[in-house]
Amino acid sequence: MSRIADLAHRHGRTIIASIHQPSSDVFDLFDHLCLLSSGNTIYFGPISLTSEFFASNGFPCPQMRNPSDHFLRTINKDFNMVIGEGSEHRPTEITSDAINILERSYKSSSIFQQVLRQVAQSSSMKGEIVQRGSQARFFTQCCVLTKRSFVNMYRDPGYYWLRLAIYFAICLCIGTIFYDIGFDYKSIQARGSMLMFVATYLTFMAIGGFPSFVEDLKIFRRERFNGHYKPVAFTIANMLSSAPFLLAISVFPAAIAYYMAGLQRGPQHFIFFTLILYSSMLLVEGLMMIVASIVPDYLMGIITGSAIQAMMVLSCGFFRLPGDLPKPIWKYPLYYIAFHKYANQGYYKNEFLGLNFSGNGGGNLSISGEDVLKDYWQMELGYSKWVDLAILIGMVVAYRLLFWVAVKVGEEVKPMVSSFLLGKKRHVLDLPSSIPVVVTNSTL
């Protein structure tokens, strides 16, 4: 509390603290005091005048007693209700009389008149000084949020470091299972299966960050409520802070599986391979952030995100070739909106084009990689692999925009839904339209 008071005085900020039964040391740190009882203001003014105000009305603070305890005891009926059970003196009524005396005295005091003048003056003010909003420039918001998010991710071993270790282990497994695939006819299916596993399972594991997304959103909503920054700054910062970790996961573990399996050796092929994996991971993180903004529960959110990805994997054209997919729903629209489709096509074009494979019966018969893509995998060869990568990058941006929309809509819709539900409850319980709020404990 000393640190908070020092910040308030140094930077000219107003800090409101609600503390029950503070120590005398903490109580002395406050500049002003507001005492509430049964929804009424008993005192609101400089803390240095509080003891004098109580003493002048017949309620002096006894020696060796904490002033905050004395004020709380004088105006809180709850304590006396417990003490007064079976008592002939009915101390609850005495407390009510004290509250009435203090309330009337405060309303007739010069302190109250000064508060009214300050309220009127503040109400007449217009302009940015009284507008709720961000206190920093947009660029500063993005920088501060990115740094904070990056530090949190770096310090949390379960956020990316554990996933990085697991990716190393899984990619080592992939490399040993598909070690030196070769170029015979059987390698066609092996290459396709390996690339499919990388495009689906490795990206699927990005849902591991979902619990952290939920916690980040809780912090965001509290800080957003106070007007510290805008949703777009939070969206950009979250993406920038996670980008280096996802890039490390996409490059180093993937290199083990790529070169152990004996895929195309050209450096440009490996770079494209990592770019597809990197953009797919960014996509899954964006998808899980959208889910977190709509379904904030850990278990339900992970189940929802997993179900969405499972539907995309089923319709991406591997387990059923594109020509065999049922046209309602699975071909149109899921096949075209599933990012796995473009990841697989990019991978397959990157790997099979330029290669030749021995025929099924052996001998001198060979099959070109282009024929494999067209006839075996039914890939779309009307555009290059870079178009598939560009589509994935566009989907990364689109998913972040959808997350921003979900946050903005949530800010508008949730209060309306809460108000509607409250109205329904009031109607069912036959409650009045205005319900008084009773504060039983004194508030400092």
Question: How large is the C-alpha radius of gyration of the chain?
Answer: 33
Q: Contact at 8 Å (CB) between 375 and 192?
A: no
Checking if the pLDDT of 331 tops 50, the result is yes
Checking if the pLDDT of 168 tops 90, the result is yes
Checking if the pLDDT of 227 tops 90, the result is no
DSSP string, 37-66: ETTEEEEEEEGGGHHHHHHHTT-PPPTTS-
pLDDT at 118: 86
Checking if the pLDDT of 268 tops 90, the result is yes
Q: Contact at 8 Å (CB) between 370 and 352?
A: yes
Checking if the pLDDT of 129 tops 60, the result is no
- Per mean pLDDT, which range of 121-125, 161-165, 182-186, 374-378 is the poorest? 121-125
pLDDT at 53: 92
pLDDT confidence band for 216 (50 / 70 / 90)? confident
Read off the pLDDT of residues 337-388 as tens digits, 9 standing for 90 and up: 999 999 999 999 999 998 888 877 665 678 899 999 998 899 889 999 999 9
Strands 332-333 and 356-358: unpaired
- Per mean pLDDT, which range of 116-130, 183-197, 211-225, 284-298 is the poorest? 116-130
pLDDT at 352: 92
Residue 328: asked if its preceding bond is cis (omega within 30°), the reply is no
pLDDT at 422: 62
What value does the mean pLDDT of the chain take?
83
pLDDT at 436: 34
Alpha-carbon distance 202 to 196, whole Å? Answer: 10
pLDDT confidence band for 132 (50 / 70 / 90)? low
Read off the pLDDT of residues 400-428 as tens digits, 9 standing for 90 and up: 999 988 888 877 776 666 666 666 555 55
CA–CA distances in Å: residue 327 to residues 43, 315, 320, 339: 72, 10, 12, 18
- Write out 332-378 in H/E/C secondary structure: EEHHHHCHHHHHHHHHHHHHHCCCEEECCCCCCCEEEHHHHHHHHCC
196-213 average pLDDT score: 85
Which among 129, 134, 131 has a CA at the least distance from the CA of 223?
A: 134
pLDDT at 330: 92
Checking if the pLDDT of 398 tops 90, the result is yes
Checking if the pLDDT of 95 tops 80, the result is no
Task: Give the list of residues 6+ apart from residue 282 with CB closer than 8 angstroms, or none.
Answer: 239, 242, 243, 246, 396
Which among 440, 392, 371 has a CA at the least distance from the CA of 36?
A: 440
Which among 324, 328, 385, 375 has a CA at the least distance from the CA of 353?
A: 385
pTM: 0.68
Which among 285, 280, 111, 138 has a CA at the least distance from the CA of 196?
A: 280
Checking if the pLDDT of 266 tops 50, the result is yes
Q: Which residue has the higher pLDDT, 319 or 128?
A: 319
Count the Cβ atoms, other than its own, within 10 Å of residue 128: 6
C-alpha of 400 from chain center: 13
pLDDT at 298: 82
Q: Tell me which range, 69-78, 124-133, 138-147, 351-360, is most confidently predicted by mean pLDDT.
A: 138-147
Q: Contact at 8 Å (CB) between 185 and 359?
A: yes
- Per mean pLDDT, which range of 165-174, 284-293, 389-398, 434-443 is the poorest? 434-443
Which among 199, 161, 198 has a CA at the least distance from the CA of 177?
A: 198
Count the Cβ atoms, other than its own, within 10 Å of residue 437: 6
pLDDT at 418: 62
Which among 114, 112, 115 has a CA at the least distance from the CA of 104?
A: 112
Alpha-carbon distance 197 to 316, whole Å? Answer: 12
